[in-house]
A and B are shown apart, each in its own frame.
Chain A
Amino acid sequence: MNGGSPDAHGGAVTLAFDAHGRLSLRRADGSVLDDVTAIRAFPLTAPDEGVSLVGRDGREVCWIETPAQLDPASRDVLATALAEREIMPRIERILSVSTFVTPSEWQLVTDRGEASLTLRAEEDIRRLGRRSLLIADRHGIQFRVDDIDRLDAGSRRLLDRFL
């Protein structure tokens, strides 16, 4: 729609923020596309590769195999854009849980400060590999646990009741 097919490789593209805080893409041919959104293709299994730039109409305009192929400035811009878009707090400590029966309300300390989470059902805890978890809050925020073994004993005991 926005003029042609996606760039097969983000080879010579550069990225910048405009004054509106939106991402703008400058292609190798010099054309500029405003207001694109950066989306990780594999946010969990391979967060550092495969970033898609999507135009306002929801179509991909550029595929970036790996951010390493961008120039350093664009890479920083991309990292910032991704970080702003994704709020996926990491659970550092579980302070308390209201009940061991779902739905259960948890009080947490995360890398983004204190928060609480409502676990609707045990199925909302998704295992990512052996030691890490992704816990979906009732309202959609995804909380991560990178390594269960690195939590303190109290948090682990509380968490264990739901696994």
Chain B
Amino acid sequence: MILDDRPSIEPPLASGERVLGLLETDFDPAGRFAPGRLVLTDRRFLARGDAAGQWSEIELGPELRLRLSDHGGVGTLELHAPDARIGRWRYLMRRQEQAAEFTELARRQLAGIEHEPEPGPRCADCGASLAYPGAPCPACDATEPTQDTAPATWTLFRLWRFARPYRGSLAIGFVLTLASTAATLVPPYLTMPLMDDVLIPFQNGQPIDPGLVGMYLGGLLAAALLAWGLGWARTYILALVSERIGVDLRQAAYDHLLSLSVDFFGGKRTGDLIARIGSETDRINVFLSLHLLDFATDVLMILMTAVILMSIDPSLALATLLPLPFIVWLIHLVRERLRTGFEKIDRVWAEVTSVLADTIPGVRVVKAFAQEAHESGRFRAANQHNLQVNDRLNRTWSLFAPTVTLLTEIGLLVVWGFGIWQIAHDRISVGVLTAFLAYIGRFYTRLDSMSRIVSVTQKAAAGAKRIFDILDHVSSVPEPADPRPLARVDGRIELQGVGFRYGNRLVLHDIDLRVEPGEMIGLVGHSGSGKSTLVNLILRFQDPVTGVVRLDGTDIRDLGVADYRRHIGLVLQESFLFFGTVAENIAYGRPGATRAEIVAAARAAHAHDFILRLPQGYDSLVGERGQSLSGGERQRIAIARALLIDPRILILDEATASVDTETEQEIQRALDNLVRGRTTIAIAHRLSTLRQADRLVVLDRGRVVEEGRHEDLLAARGAYFRLHEAQARLAAAQFAPATEQLPAPASGKTAS
């Protein structure tokens, strides 16, 4: 992160002194960026971090204590003597692995435990431990910045991957383009003999030869018809191909999107992703079928015209082609500004869409809080931003087209002037000048339309870039190169030294947990204590930063992701139902299930009765746009869904949190059916839901603070006891007789 000019001077070691560990630091004591290092030897700490570059030393002693903390992307290591702090070093969070290891080593050294080098593969960059040698480093992130300095236009060539399957059709299209362009160039050529052999002689008093005129006019008609037929075939074939490329691209982008890990979706806005897959692919499509085709035709036409003009009269041809470099230069000049402008418009457009995607699903909240005006203002801000960016771009853009037209006119002027001068000197005939004017009339209109390709290419390139952004994104839960087969699952889950952070916020710290096959454990703790994150790691929605999660002794990173998840049933707090029938929703995890199986699952989930009360029973439509179901009903469908896949492992994430007590009991009975015989990990806020658990694990701020049976934990009067007490009080308050005067809510104090 820092420009790497670390002091290379070696620490001043005494003879026989051994270096045990090294921590690179990034800040000086005043908090300015400055490279430094902290060295641990078998006798002392050696630090070099101030501007003077001097080494300072602190002797090791059993009374010293180390403290590691972090905030806002900066880690701090403090060294305390019993009576005072004697050292503090700060580093960037990308060195956190290094820092944790250094601290561990130093603590052992302080405690007098002999240091033994730990075997195991490590990342060459940051020193994080890896699952296997050469594995992608979880700390360094799989997507290192690619040094992609090529302009965005280059991105369009990457579309070739999608064009490849259609290269046969593309070749035919190209030949047709060549032929149809050639056909359109015949008519101007015929004006030459028409002028010189028919009209000029007629003016000089000779009669018109009807046969000759008929022949030339027939030639003109034939050329026009040929150009029409070939043009049609070409456009049709290439449009078909481009449409198919667009479809493939859209599908590939969506498929890839689905393969990405959950945290990718957390970091992106839905509206933006929808726009990318929807409209961007369409824009690329239009570009390929319309603009690129036109451009190719234009280039061919210009080349062919240039050849024909040269063959008729080289000097006049040169005069005609003179303005061309200017126009090319102009195009190049504007190109840069337009491209960045269009990229910016895309981003602003995504911003506008995002506001919509935010507000429309949340419209009940908006209305309930009467915030229509606020939301309208938010939309107006995005809309105005859009306007500003467009205005700025249009300034350049509006100048562009008229300038090209002006240059065209000037070019024609040059040809007229030079042509008249040549005719006056009897170098060329009037027919040749007419032909030239006819050619360059087309020629310059093509240049004009060609200049438009700049903007559409940039737009398409910007769109392609945004799609390839998705396609290039590597899932942060990578599929193993050689996944181990997962035949039979017992359901033993082990977590060993598992740590996780979101950005720079430490969420889980060094968790060790073992769940035996068929055992049910309950995860308890305040919200934010890391319960859900722990479950995400077990589901492999995310990979831990440190440590491993094992299933039956195998690191789950060595198993195929889908293969592994197939053995896990998940019931969430808010069950998501897809638009479809109840039966389809129950069979979501196993589309091949028979009706009997679906009904059996629904019965076990205590959902059967209410499903039958729906207008079309199991065929009733649910989900968005469908029959509305209560939270408890949705929950039981979700339980049936989990039951149907008969998973070895079951995860209940606040499965009963959003329903009332009565429904909870119903769901509880359904859950009891579900849990039987499966390894179950349940998160519950309401401790009563966990009465069945074999063991409770209490988490607090990312650490396991207690573990044991309900009664034992109560007896221990620790964190669990306090949670339990708090809930018991709350329950008592809720069920207090209505006549009793409740104490007024404490004023002026916020519940923390």
CA distance A141 to B33 in the complex (A): 12
Residues of chain A within 8 A of B503, CB atoms compared: 136, 140
Residues of chain B within 8 A of A140, CB atoms compared: 72-74, 93, 503-504
* Partner of A137 from B73, B90, B701 at Cβ < 8 Å: B73
Closest chain A residue to B28, Cβ basis: A113
Nearest-Cβ distance from residue B143 to partner chain A, whole angstroms: 7
- Is B596 in the interface zone, CB < 8 Å from A? no
- Is A126 in the interface zone, CB < 8 Å from B? no
- Is A84 in the interface zone, CB < 8 Å from B? yes
What is the size category of the interface that chain B forms with chain A? 35 or more
CA distance A29 to B268 in the complex (A): 50
Closest chain B residue to A39, Cβ basis: B71
- Is A30 in the interface zone, CB < 8 Å from B? no
CA distance A8 to B748 in the complex (A): 7
Closest chain A residue to B348, Cβ basis: A163
Nearest-Cβ distance from residue A110 to partner chain B, whole angstroms: 7
Interface of A is mostly: loop
- A6/B93 in contact, CB under 8 A: no
Q: Given A6-B752, A60-B752, A83-B31, does the pair A139, B145 have CB atoms closer than 8 Å?
A: no
Interface string of B426-460 (1 = CB under 8 A from A): 00000000000000000000000000000000000
Nearest-Cβ distance from residue B160 to partner chain A, whole angstroms: 19
Closest chain B residue to A85, Cβ basis: B71
- Is B215 in the interface zone, CB < 8 Å from A? no
- Is B94 in the interface zone, CB < 8 Å from A? yes
Residues of chain B within 8 A of A103, CB atoms compared: 143-146
- A163/B344 in contact, CB under 8 A: yes
Interface string of B126-156 (1 = CB under 8 A from A): 0000000000000001011111110010000
CA distance A121 to B71 in the complex (A): 22
- Is B562 in the interface zone, CB < 8 Å from A? no
CA distance A100 to B148 in the complex (A): 8
Residues of chain A within 8 A of B148, CB atoms compared: 99, 101
Nearest-Cβ distance from residue A155 to partner chain B, whole angstroms: 16
- B84/A141 in contact, CB under 8 A: no
- A105/B145 in contact, CB under 8 A: yes
- B31/A19 in contact, CB under 8 A: no
- A142/B72 in contact, CB under 8 A: yes
- Is B347 in the interface zone, CB < 8 Å from A? yes
Interface size on A, residues (CB 8 A): 47
Which chain A residues numbered 80 to 113 have a C-beta less than 8 Å away from chain B? 83-89, 98-105, 107, 110, 112-113
- B149/A99 in contact, CB under 8 A: yes
Residues of chain B within 8 A of A59, CB atoms compared: 752
Closest chain A residue to B73, Cβ basis: A140
- A107/B33 in contact, CB under 8 A: no
Q: Given A89-B33, A116-B2, does the pair A99, B147 have CB atoms closer than 8 Å?
A: yes
Nearest-Cβ distance from residue A156 to partner chain B, whole angstroms: 13
The 6 A-B residue pairs with the shortest CB-CB distance in the complex, in nearest-first order: A140-B504, A140-B73, A141-B73, A19-B84, A113-B33, A21-B85
* Residues of chain A whose beta carbon lies under 8 Å from any beta carbon of chain B: 5-6, 8, 19-22, 58-60, 83-89, 98-105, 107, 110, 112-118, 121-123, 136-142, 160-161, 163
* Residues of chain B whose beta carbon lies under 8 Å from any beta carbon of chain A: 1-3, 27, 31-34, 71-74, 78, 80, 83-85, 88, 90, 92-94, 141, 143-149, 152, 267-269, 340, 343-344, 347, 465, 469, 503-504, 701, 748-750, 752
